[in-house]
Amino acid sequence: MANTSTSQTSRVSCQNSWVKRQVLLHQAENNLSAADLDFSKQLEDYRNSLVIYTYETQLIRQKLDTIVSEAEIEAYYEENKDNFQVRSTLVRAAYVILEEDCKHKDQFHKLMSDRDTLMLQNIDMLANDQAVKCYLDVDEWIRLDELTKVVPIEIYNTESFLKKNKYVRFDWNDLTCMVRFEDYLLEKSVMPMELVRDNIKEILLIRRKTELIERMKDAIYEEAKRKHGFEVYVGQTTLAPSDSIN
């Protein structure tokens, strides 16, 4: 019964909205001048834009080379390193948060503090079973400020701290936190190419799209000019019949 009532209310609301819109439209039409109501130019411009956009989209789909080589990516990266600065300190790190009375603390400590990255693989199953929270993907870069929201390490001098600390263990609110740092990138340093490879590829593809469209426009213009497909008068351009351009 409740669903039926809700459905009826929704239907009435929709009807009211439609009626309000029609009343407003009627009011507007009665109060606007003929010139105000003439949208032929806007509609023509809108249609023309859609036609050109559709044609360009099909051209891109048919002719754009979407393969971007590693050499192209590397070249762009080297030429534009200043555009790839780190905005916030990044780290590659792993952490586990344990209950203070966890019986496997010493085992976690040994595995987390060992510099052999393979040792992290041995933590995974143990952490899933014993840890309150964990993150073990040291191949991924994460923001240091996001890390410290989860693991509240007190850091007063970021550069000095990261240089001196490869492993940190501390107690906090009846929990024990262990953090291992593999690498870091300070704010305003240059991002490694692995972090910006996809962005560079997208930039290069956008550049190719733009160049393809511009070449297409120039080619069509030159072909029309060669075949006398248009004439220019003072203040306006008149196109010849389309078959004279094709």
- Reading the block at residue 84, the tokens are 């790839």
Q: What residue numbers bound the domain in which 122 lies?
A: 86-185
Judge whether 168 lies within some domain.
yes
Please give the average per-residue pLDDT across 182-203, as a whole number. Answer: 92
Judge whether 40 lies within some domain.
no
Asked whether residue 231 falls in the same domain as residue 144, the answer is no
pLDDT value, residue 240: 61
Other C-beta atoms closer than 10 Å to the C-beta of 165 total 13
Judge whether 236 lies within some domain.
yes
pLDDT value, residue 19: 85
Asked whether residue 154 falls in the same domain as residue 236, the answer is no
Judge whether 19 lies within some domain.
no
Asked whether residue 99 falls in the same domain as residue 174, the answer is yes
Q: How many domains does the chain have?
A: 2
Judge whether 13 lies within some domain.
no
Residue 135 backbone dihedrals phi, psi, to 5 degrees: -150, 120
Asked whether residue 70 falls in the same domain as residue 125, the answer is no
pLDDT value, residue 18: 85
pLDDT tens figures, 115-169? 765 566 778 777 878 888 989 888 899 999 999 999 999 999 999 999 999 999 9
DSSP secondary structure letters along 3-58: HHHHHHHHHHHHHHHHHHHHHHHHHHHHHS-TTTT--HHHHHHHHHHHHHHHHHHH
pLDDT tens figures, 193-212? 988 999 999 999 999 999 99
